[in-house]
């Protein structure tokens, strides 16, 4: 009867917004919230005691599949249920409403069940209502109703349109070689020669750069050029170490962008440079660059630098 925690509970998680909403409407909202949290914690580990404590003996439970059950059947199903390969769901709740009438309380909310570790899979939505009765100072669920929320109605077009698709951009011959050369020239100017004028020519006025360590580190080409100048000055003063960047062989991938330029992705390594000593690997990282082609010249329009890992 009980196939999974998701079917049984039908979404009893309460988010912070829901707790605040409930507190305005029911004096025992916080107590009920803690009860639900404690139950979910135990039920997630299939603890029979958690179910025995939460459900009232006279429970009437109607599942989202339209099946009616009770507390003994739920407990028996949990004890007899074999190990399942079902994918677990991560539950959250929206539009939580708790109303209290003396020793009776009603909890209603919208459940969102998201498949754990399954990017791209659609979440499940339920509308749930639980009725709790307080006896001898303890709240227990005496009735539960779980309803699968209907899919939203799609708009009906005036007529059926033909499915017309545009193919993706096709790289022209030599594009990858051009980007490889531009990549090498830009990073050589930035790291090896501190050629600020060359760096300036390589970035668009509206250039932006995002870095996993610093976030949005440049909001314009001028801001990026200024950071390059500051880096070169510190290196010349000896307050910052010299460094170089090397593209990891065979990692560069280039994708054309129609009417704009190209996208490149790859992996690169960074080294500390010291005279009279071999270059020392400091870290590796990945990058994505949006290149803009202007009159046959390649410029960086956007840059992402991420997944940096320090060398051991």
Query: 3-state class of 272 per DSSP?
Result: strand
Measured CA to CA, the distance from residue 292 to residue 261 in angstroms comes to: 5
Q: Find the DSSP H helices in 44-159.
A: 48-54, 71-80
**Contact predicate 266/287, CB 8 Å:** yes
CB 80 within 8 A of CB 72: no
pTM over 0.75: no
Supply 38's token pair. 């404690």
Q: What is the pLDDT of residue 81?
A: 72
pLDDT in tens, the chain (312 residues): 344 445 555 434 333 344 444 445 689 998 888 887 777 677 767 789 989 999 999 999 999 888 999 999 999 988 887 766 566 666 777 777 889 999 999 988 887 777 766 566 778 788 889 999 999 999 999 999 989 888 778 889 999 999 999 999 999 999 999 999 999 999 999 999 999 999 999 999 999 999 999 999 999 999 999 999 999 999 999 999 999 999 999 999 999 999 999 999 999 999 999 999 999 999 999 999 999 999 999 999 999 999 999 999
Is-contact 144 10, C-beta < 8 A? yes
Tell me what pLDDT residue 7 has: 54
Handedness of CA 207, 211, 214, 216 (dihedral sign): positive
Planar angle of CA 300, 233, 218, nearest 5 degrees:
30
Which of 271, 298, 302 has the alpha carbon at shortest distance from 285? Answer: 271
pLDDT value at position 175?
97
Alpha carbons 168 and 210: distance in angstroms, whole number: 26
Which pLDDT belongs to residue 151? 78
């Amino acid at each position: 009867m009980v196939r999974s925690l998701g079917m049984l509970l039908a979404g009893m998680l309460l988010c912070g917004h829901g707790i605040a909403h409930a507190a305005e409407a029911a004096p025992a909202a916080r107590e009920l919230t803690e009860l639900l949290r404690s139950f979910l914690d135990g039920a997630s580990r299939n603890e029979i005691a958690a179910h025995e404590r939460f459900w009232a003996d006279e429970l009437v439970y109607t599942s989202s599949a339209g099946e009616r059950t009770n507390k003994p059947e739920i407990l028996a199903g949990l004890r007899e249920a074999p190990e399942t390969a079902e994918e677990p769901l991560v539950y959250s709740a929206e539009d939580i409403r708790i109303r209290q009438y003396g020793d009776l309380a009603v909890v209603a909310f919208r459940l969102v069940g998201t498949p754990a570790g399954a990017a791209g899979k659609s979440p499940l939505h339920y509308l749930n209502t639980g009725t709790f009765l307080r006896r001898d100072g303890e709240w227990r669920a005496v009735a539960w109703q779980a309803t699968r929320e209907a899919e939203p109605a799609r708009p009906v077009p005036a007529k059926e349109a033909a499915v017309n698709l545009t193919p993706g951009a096709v790289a022209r011959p030599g594009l990858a070689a051009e980007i490889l050369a531009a990549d090498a020239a830009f990073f050589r100017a930035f790291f090896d020669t501190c050629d600020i004028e060359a760096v300036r020519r390589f970035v668009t006025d509206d250039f932006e750069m995002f870095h996993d360590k610093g976030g949005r580190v440049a909001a314009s080409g001028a801001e990026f050029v200024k950071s390059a100048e500051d880096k070169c000055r510190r290196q010349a003063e000896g307050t910052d170490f010299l460094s170089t960047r090397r593209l990891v062989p065979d990692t560069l991938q280039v994708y054309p962008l129609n009417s704009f330029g190209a996208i490149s992705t790859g992996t690169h390594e960074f080294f500390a440079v010291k005279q009279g000593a071999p270059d020392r690997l400091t870290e590796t990282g990945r990058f994505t660059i949006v290149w803009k082609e202007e009159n046959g010249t390649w410029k960086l329009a956007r840059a992402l630098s991420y997944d940096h890992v320090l060398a051991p």
